[in-house]
Every structure is written in structure tokens, then in C-alpha cells.
Structure 1
Amino acid sequence: MNQAKTLFSIVVPTYNRPDKLAQCLQSFVELEYPRDRFQVIVVNDSTEISVETTIYPFQSQLNLILLTQPNSGPATARNTGAFAAEGKFVVFTDDDCTVAADWLQNLEKRFGETPDCLIGGRTVNALPDNIYSTASQQLIDYLYSYYNAIADRAQFFTSNNFALSAEAFQQIGGFDTTFSLAAGEDREFCFRWLNLGGRAVYAPEVIVYHSHALTLGKFWRQQFNYGRGAFLFGEIVSKHGAKGKRQHPSFYLNLLTYPLFHGSGIQRLLITGLFLVSQAGIAAGLFWEKNVFVEK
């Protein structure tokens, strides 16, 4: 496809979630946006698990490319897709997300105003009846309210809903593949982008719906991995000569009270409890990764 006509390249890393991937691709079919203006790049992060059957029904409906790599983690998979992008802008989402019909329309408007910026959208929990998924998204919502309070001077986006020019992505070197888990690579990318003088803009009208079904065990593992990623992030920040910034105690007080103002009934108390669990999980993951780092 002619690069001059392709405005967006949507990159979707996937690993062994065929049903979710199919839902994700269906949402691209339903986009209210010209088909010849975007392409979809699915990166299968496995040479052992095929997704060809899953994507086959969509190949006649989308400009769809499938790339396959040995299991290397989502950061590497995103790089694989982005470095093959034909579009002017590269857009990232995940295989357990679906996008709003006006997703690309709203991104185009934003890039028309700020073409050189990193633009991050809003993620909505698509599983409101799952208390663990709700708590997980509320944690992200709190971080967005804290780091992106000034929308045109945003500081942090999750990698399931942000976009930037393909040229800028390549110049910055893509995601840091030191992060082999889905934890911390987006935080490091945003830090590096801002540290190099880039600007980030929060665009809440650019919406994806996240269907990440969690149990208590999966919620703990997620937060534990976030802790591992936080340690790696701290090491990278220190290598840049920057000191890790300690959060003011009010950050944690506001974190733990956030669910009380963003829920109803007993759910508020349950999610507050899960926020406490999350902090324990993050601390455990951080110390675990620190011990592994010392042993190396």
C-alpha cells in the first residue's frame, strides 16, 4: 500500500488469546474510517501457536499483515510491528482490547493539531462485573489523574492506547526490550520520550475497551509483575543520571482513598482492599527483582 495514503498503522501484539484477538480485529472492521487510510499489523509472539485461522476471516475486510516471532514478550513484538509499519503514525493497542468506532477519527484530529506529540487515549474497563478487572483499571485511572492532570503536559500512558509518528518511534529506538513482561515498558518509553524533549498529550476521547478477565491470583501476579517492572525502570532512570523521585505520602493516601470516590456501595470497600493488595504485590515484585538483579 502507498505510504502517502496510509495514515495509521495499528500494531497488535498477541500471544495465545485467539478469541480476544478476533474481537479486537472485529472492532477494527467496525471503525468509521476509510479502509485505505489504515493498516493492521498483528504480531504473533509465538512460533508454536498459530493465529492464521483466527485472522483469516478478516483478511478480506482489512489491510492486514501477520508477522510471527519466537516468544520474546510484548515490547519486542510491538517493535517488530512498528518497524514494519507503512503508515505515517503508528498506533498501539493490545489483543484483549476493542476500539471505539471513532478511535482513528479522533486520533487524526489530534495529530492535525499536534503532529509531533505522543498522544495517549483513555482505556475503559469492559468487564465491570469483574471486581479484579475493575480494580486494575481504577489503579490506572488514578495514575492518569495524577500524571496527566494537565492534558497537554501528560507524563504516562499505557501501551494499549497510544500513538506517535512512525519516524519518531524509530528515532527513539522503540520499546526497551529489557522489559520481557507486560510491565514497565510503557512507563520507560514515556520517560525516555519526555527526557529527549518530546511532548505528550492526553486525549480522553480516543477510547479503547479493555477486556482483561482477572481472578485474585491473576490480579496478584499482575501487580507483582508491575513491581518487577518498577525495579527495572528505576535502574534505567539511574543510568540516565536521574534520581528516582520519591512520591509524597499524599500520593499513596489519595491512591487508597480513590475507590471511595469512584464507586458505589460495598464495591468501594472491596476495591480499596484490592488497592492495598496491589501495593503489597508491587512491593513483593520489586524486592524479588532486586534480589535477582543482585545475584546477577
Structure 2
Amino acid sequence: MSYPALEFSIVIPTYNRPERLASCLRSLTRLNYPRNGFEVIVVDDGSAQPMAPTVEPFESVLNLTLLRQVNSGPAQARNAGADRAQGQYLVFTDDDCQPHANWLSALAAKLDQQPLALVGGHTLNALPHNVFSTASQLLIDYLYDYYNSRHQPSFFASNNFAMAAEQFRQLGGFDTSFPLAAGEDREFCDRWLQQGLPMAYAPEARVDHSHHLSLRRFWRQHFNYGRGAYCFHQVRARRAAAQVQVEPLGFYWRLLTYPLVRQPQLQGMLLSGLLFVSQVANMVGFFWERNQQKLPSTSAPATPC
């Protein structure tokens, strides 16, 4: 098989998950892309324990760089990795993802066709027996169906996308006013489209996502998504000089019924219930963040966005 003459920098933010990071790096050693065609940049976002012992075993088989920053969130970590990147194209994934062997070659093929596109791949739930992880991935699947079924895709998650480094830098990278892993990828995609740049879907570029969730973690995840959604709408409204707009009611009805047509009946009902819980948590997080933003300056500092 011949490969397009592309040079990639794979950027991985990580925080307090050495076992997950090791699994991610192990998967990169199995990529069927020429080893001299890509580098890997791991950005430790201020983990409690050093990540060097996790990274060192892979330095002999990967062109690998480890950076460390004071805890500032994944958006800042991705930008820091991009600043050090030497590749023509940037590829982002997360420490709890394991790319398939043909992941990079699939992204390369799409970028060879559309070199100025933001290319998003397909993410699979690696924990099908964890109902909370399954529900969380089902929500992402629904968002991909909702936002990307039209002629022009409009949303890709930052655990599996790639673009030309030059376009990323001209755009200013990720908005670092998003301190959580919530909303910063959506804002980046929206800003990308606003600049008239294309987006393209590469479903063959697959990663397995191993996000272990309990009910408490599931609630916290979607509460934070709500906080990120508020920040996204605020940033977008300021950029467009328009009022905050949210999705129509039909969006939520289709979301809640989405599992019923994709899963066995009882499993679908359970997952539909969890998606309802996710939207309650999202709404609570949205209004919590809104109230925090409106606190007077003498109160506890609000999250910037």
C-alpha cells in the first residue's frame, strides 16, 4: 500500500491516568503507518504523579515527546502540544482512546483528498458492558448523526480529529477559556466553519474509547457538558453579536428516542432513561455556569469562558 506524503504530529493531553495513557501509546505502536511519518506529543496537564515512567518504555519505538504544564485544562494542553509539533498535520486524541491500526492511514487518505479540511473519525465504545459508558457514547453517536448527516458536517469530538497545522495556528488553536473537557471542541468546529473552512468525515479512522463511568461520574460528566455548553453559547453569541440560541425541542425528543431504534427493547429503554438523566445533568450544569458567570466580583471567582 502506498501512503500520501504527509507528516503527522499526534497530540495527546493526559491527566492522572497513567494506565489509560499506556494503553493509548501501546495502540500507537501498532499503527500501520510508516514510523518515520509521525511523531507523538504527550502533554501532562499537571498530573499528581510524574508521567515520565509511563512514557519512557515507548520512547524506543515511537518518536515521542513528553511535555508538562501546570493544570490548565485540555484546551491549553492541546495548544501546548501543537506549539511543539513539527508535522504538517495535527492529529488529536485522548489518553483513554486506543486508535485502530489503520487510523492514521485513514486520516491521511481523507486529508490527501481534502488537505484544508478538519477531518473527524469514528469513535467506538470499548466498554459495552458498562451501561453508563454505553449511554455516553450513544449520545456522541446521536450528535454525529444530527450534526453531520447534512452535506456539510459541523461537529467532531477532539478525541479523534485532524487538520493542517497551518490552519490550526491561523485559527488560534483551542479557546483556553474552556477549562474543562467540555465544549471546547464544539467551539473550535464552529469557529472553523465560520472561517469558511471545510469539514470531512472519515468513518474508517476509528478509535476505541475506554471511559469508565459510574452513575456519579456519568452525572458529573454531563453536568460539565452543560457548563461547557453555556460557555460555548456565550462565546458564539459574542462572536456573532447575537443572542444565545439553544437546540429546538425536536432535538431532545429525537435524542431520547434514539436508543429505542438502535438497541434491544429493554436495553433501549434503560439507555433512553440514562440519556434523560444526562440532559437533566446538562441543564443543571448549564444554569449553574450561568449563575456563576453572573456572580459579583466580590464572590467566588467564576469560570471564565
**Residue 233 (str. 1) matches residue 232 (str. 2):** yes
Alpha-carbon separation, structure 2, partners of 1:249 and 1:156: 19
- Structure 2 distance, partners of 1:284, 1:90, is 35
Tell me which residue corresponds to 1:254: 254
> What amino acid is aligned across from residue 158 of structure 2 in structure 1?
S
Q: What's the CA shift for 1:264?
A: 1.4
- Give the C-alpha shift of residue 114 in structure 1: 0.1
Once the two structures are TM-superposed, the CA of residue 49 in structure 1 deviates from its matched residue by: 2.2
On the 8 A contact 2:15/2:47 being kept in 1, the answer is no
**Structure 1: distance between partners of 2:287 and 2:107:** 39
> Which position in structure 2 is the counterpart of 1:155?
154
Whichever residue aligns with residue 149 of structure 2, its letter is: A
For 2:199 and 2:83, locate their aligned partners in 1 and report how far apart those are by CA, in whole Å: 21
1:105 aligned counterpart, secondary structure: helix
Unaligned runs of 5+ in 2: 297-305
For residue 175 of structure 2, give the secondary structure of its aligned residue in structure 1: coil
Size of the aligned set, in residue pairs, is 291
Alignment-mate amino acid for residue 203 of structure 2? P
3-state SS, counterpart of residue 24 of structure 1: helix
Task: Report the residue type matching 1:258 in the other structure.
Answer: Y
Aligned AA (1:92) = F
Quick one: distance in 2 between partners of 1:104 and 1:243? 40
| Contact 1:228–1:286, Cα closer than 8 Å, also in 2 | yes
Code of the aligned partner of 2:281: G
**2:76 matched to which residue of 1?**
76
Structure 1 portions without partners, runs of 5+: none
**Aligned sequence identity (%):** 54
Hey, what does 1:143 align to over in structure 2?
143
Q: What is the TM-score normalised by the length of structure 2?
A: 0.93
Q: Distance in 2 between matches of 1:30 and 1:165?
A: 24
Q: Determine the C-alpha separation between the residues in 2 that align with 1:48 and 1:252.
A: 39
Pairing 1:45-194 to 2, within 5 Å after superposition: 45-46=45-46, 48-150=48-150, 153-194=152-193
Code of the residue aligned with 2:28 in structure 1: it is F
SS of structure 1 residue aligned to 2:237:
helix
Q: Deviations over 1:126-162 (max 9, x none)?
A: 0000000000000010000000003x51100111000
The answer to whether the 8 A contact 1:6-1:37 is kept is yes
Structure 1's 34 and 238: CA in aligned 2 closer, same or farther, altered over 3 A? same
Partner of 1:49: helix, strand, or coil?
Answer: coil
Does structure 1 conserve the Cα–Cα contact (< 8 Å) formed by 2:233 and 2:245? no
* Cα offset, 1:42, TM superposition: 0.3
Indicate the larger mover: 248-257 or 123-132: 248-257
Secondary structure at 1:83 match in 2: helix
Q: Do 2:16 and 2:48's aligned partners in 1 also have CA atoms closer than 8 Å?
A: no
Per-residue CA deviation, residues 49-88 of structure 1 (Å, 9 max, x unaligned), is: 2011111110000000001101111000000001110000
Shift of 1:48: 4.3
Give the Å deviation of 1:121: 0.6
C-alpha distance in 2, partners of 1:101/1:143? 25
TM-score by length of 1: 0.96
Q: Please list the CA deviations of residues 217-243 of structure 1 after superposition, one character each: whole Å capped at 9, or x if unmatched.
A: 000000000000011111101111244
Which residue in 2 is equivalent to 1:197? Answer: 196
RMSD, matched Cα: 1.2
Q: Which moved more, 1:280-289 or 1:244-253?
A: 244-253
Distance 2:6 2:142 in 1: 35
SS at match of 2:173: coil
Cα shift at 1:6: 6.6
Q: Which residue of 1 aligns with 2:12?
A: 12
